[in-house]
Amino acid sequence: SLDGSKDGAAVITTTRVQGNLPADAGACLGDFGCRFVSGRFDTHGKVSFQYGFIEARIKMPAGSGNHPAFWMLGTNIEEELDDDLDTYKWPFCGEIDIMEHVNNNAYINGTIHYNNNGHVYVGGQYYTNVEEYHVYSIIWNPTSIRFYVDGNIYYTQNILNNTGGTEEFHNDFFFILNL
């Protein structure tokens, strides 16, 4: 929804579910019995790209229990691994978390997820007042992914020549913005 202001900020809200989950609530991905639902913005099947400068101005929700994220997945996520497997291609498709805020801590994460002989996470943390507006961004090119908050770089991941098995990050990705 939009917040009604002159600038028309998009707002994603979380709602506690009383009773049974709605039929269209989707899969339960958490360990908390899926007692909450929220919306999300997703460009899968609509907009994807390889490399670029990506940013969003975001204000985090107050209170614990929220898990807002501005992230990307490889467009090949729904392809099968091979003819013998019927599974999604994650982490083989790659994931770039431009901003992920977990457990109401005073920091955000910038992380990539990929497969290099098993699931791999690498990333950095940036400490800030998460309840104010900040600009979260990456510069993603054939050599690296650089993570920024308000123009301050805090983490760089080398992907040149598929360093460390990072070939996923030379494919098309799409956006997700969710709570």
| Winning range, highest mean pLDDT, from 1-10, 50-59, 87-96 | 50-59
pLDDT score recorded for residue 43: 92
Residue 85 has pLDDT above 80, yes or no: no
**pLDDT in the model for residue 7:** 72
Q: Mind listing the pLDDT tens digit for each residue in 36-84?
A: 777 788 899 999 999 999 999 998 877 667 788 999 999 988 775 555 5
Is the distance from CB of 168 to CB of 92 less than 8 angstroms? Answer: yes
pLDDT range class, residue 164, cuts 50, 70, 90: confident
96 and 145 Cβ atoms separated by less than 8 Å: yes
List the structure tokens of 124: 């950095």
Residue found under tokens 């992907």 = 159
Query: Is the model's pLDDT at 86 over the cut of 50?
Result: no
Q: E strands within 59-133?
A: 69-74, 95-100, 107-115, 119-127
The residue annotated as part of the active site, out of 79, 95, 167, 168, is 95
135 contacts 98 by C-beta, under 8 angstroms? no
Active-site residue 168, yes or no? no
The pTM of the full predicted model, rounded to 2 decimals, is 0.83
Q: Cα–Cα distance between 12 and 177 in angstroms, integer?
A: 9
Q: DSSP assignment of 82-95, as one string?
A: STT--S--TTTT-E
100 is catalytic: yes
| 137: number of Cβ within 10 Å | 22
Task: Please tell me the predicted confidence (pLDDT) of residue 38.
Answer: 77
Taking only the tens place, the pLDDT of each residue in 109-124 is 999 999 887 788 888 8
CB 73 within 8 A of CB 173: yes
